[in-house]
Structure 1
Amino acid sequence: MRAKKAPTLHQQIINDIEGCILSGEWPPGHRIANELDLAEQYKCSRMTVNKALGQLAKANLIERRKKSGSFVTQPQAQSAILEIHDIKSEVQSLGLPYDYGRSSRTSRKATPADIKNLELGDSAEIIEIIGKHFAGPKVFCLEERLINLAVVPESRDEDFTETAPGPWLTSRVPWTTAEHLIKSVGASEHYAKALEIAPGTACLVIERRTWSHNGPVTHVRLTYPGDRHALVARFTPTDPTGKSSSF
């Protein structure tokens, strides 16, 4: 069994500040030490501090104000949460047998498109998994997913033949922020063949990006035939711990 690595200085800064915020030690509006003071405290470069604060801001735990510094964010009274249900549970709720089949798995250096989708550096490595979710004999959803190996290195040893990557990630990686893009498209020849539908059929496409405190985790494109999926939106208090929803 491998020994657990000590956190990097970059991660230690994130962990310490996050701990002070989530414990309530630092209330909303609390001013965080400036970059120079934090760099001196942690004996690291200002760039390392800047990167850590940037990730905390992306997670909506702090707000960075030009010429003023960084502050613990004020909690939002309400936020719109889009519920993306687990695909297996959704299929079973329809009274249909569920199955998942992996079509391909590739480990490679990130392409320009990958870098854009996951906000990665030029030398990043990713895993791309393409698979199909079935409801009975019909393809319910085509999943095209990228996983950032720098944040989820253990995915290198997972083949995703038995388990879809979404539930696998949910059980292993705590996330802080998610972003959804939803659109309707007509099925191209490629997607029509993959989904076993006629070209031009209306499809619902959901693209989701998810981040943890360590950086971007995954980008997934889920393509459904338009008559096989429903979206539910509800309003609920913001949960800064990221314990709800799924990857």
Structure 2
Amino acid sequence: MNPARRIRDEIAAAIRSGEWRPGDRVPTEQELAARYVCARATVSKALGELAASGLVERRRKAGTFVAHPPVHSAVMTVPDLAELIAARGETYRWDLISIIDTDDTGEEPLAGPALRIEGVHRAAGEPFALERRFIALGEVPAAADADFAKEAPGTWLLGHIPWTQARHVIRAVNPVRKETSLLGIGPGAACLELDRTTWRAGRVVTHVRQLFRGDRFDLVAEFNAGP
């Protein structure tokens, strides 16, 4: 077998079997060259192919790491990020940043008393998405007593409040400095913003802005051609 192909296939097998987990550091080119008794150029070619397939991530001056697989979500649903991340075999965690009662929702499409909640969704211990959410207390009074330090508000809402209508707005954005810091990304990194409002019987339940790392999340729609 071609040496580069052998290296590529054996590393890919270790990743897919779970032996090497997302975030694990891959041995250096020098270490792999010694292990496989080949030139570093051969190792570099194999790692390049693995990076192109999305299995590893090569970081300048830092090395090569097992990539975090992108999470896929259907565009026309209201996803539970905890379930999506767990389905990829990664540990999910929600970190609450702040929660306040407010009557000022700015340009958000709801009026009256609301909870304003901000936090970070994490996958395998690393930042996955930022969230800023408003919950209409007039429609969801029970939210005032919920423990959003322990459970993400989106998860809580899906378990307690049925919705009848939702509207997504999806756009590419340039995050501000605070957002890049919270997401653990560099300036100019690609981000995907999902702006969503959900209603129940014509009344707004919640409005949320979620900012995703562009390398961690895909929005997917499947549909059939019309007659």
Shorter-chain TM range is: 0.5 to 0.7
Equivalent position SS for 1:191:
helix
Shift of 1:104: 0.7
In structure 1, what is the equivalent of residue 95 of structure 2?
101
C-alpha distance in 1 between matches for 2:141 and 2:202: 12
* Residues 204-226 of structure 1: CA deviation (Å, up to 9, x unaligned): 11010000016110000111110
Distance 2:136 2:200 in 1: 11
Q: Secondary structure at the match of 2:108?
A: helix
Cross-structure match for 1:212 = 200
Runs of at least 4 residues off by over 4 Å: none
User: Per the alignment, in what secondary structure is the counterpart of residue 83 of structure 1?
Assistant: coil
Counting aligned pairs with the same residue, the percent is 36
Say what the alpha-carbon RMSD is for the aligned residues.
1.8
C-alpha offsets along residues 60-94 of structure 1, whole Å, 9 cap, x if unaligned? xxxxxxxxxxxxxxxxxxxx962343211221222
Could you say if the C-alpha distance between residues 173 and 83 of structure 1 is closer, same or farther in structure 2, counting changes exceeding 3 Å? closer
Q: Does 1:90 align with 2:84?
A: yes
* Gaps in structure 2 of 5+ consecutive residues: 1-73
- Structure 1: where are the runs of 5+ without partners? 1-79, 237-247
Cα deviation for residue 130 of structure 1 reads 0.6
1:117 corresponding residue in structure 2: 108
In the other structure, the counterpart of 1:195 is 183
Q: CA deviation at 1:231?
A: 0.8
Matched, 1:161 2:152: no
Report the AA paired with residue 181 of structure 2.
K
Q: How far apart are the structure 2 equivalents of 1:146 and 1:171?
A: 17
TM-score normalised by structure 2 residue count: 0.62
- Which of structures 1 and 2 has the larger relative contact order (alpha carbons within 8 angstroms, sep 6+)? 1
Which has the greater radius of gyration? 2
User: How many residue pairs align between the two structures?
Assistant: 151
Q: How many Å apart are 1:99 and its aligned residue?
A: 1.0
1:102 shift after superposition: 0.7
SS of residue in 2 equivalent to 1:161: coil
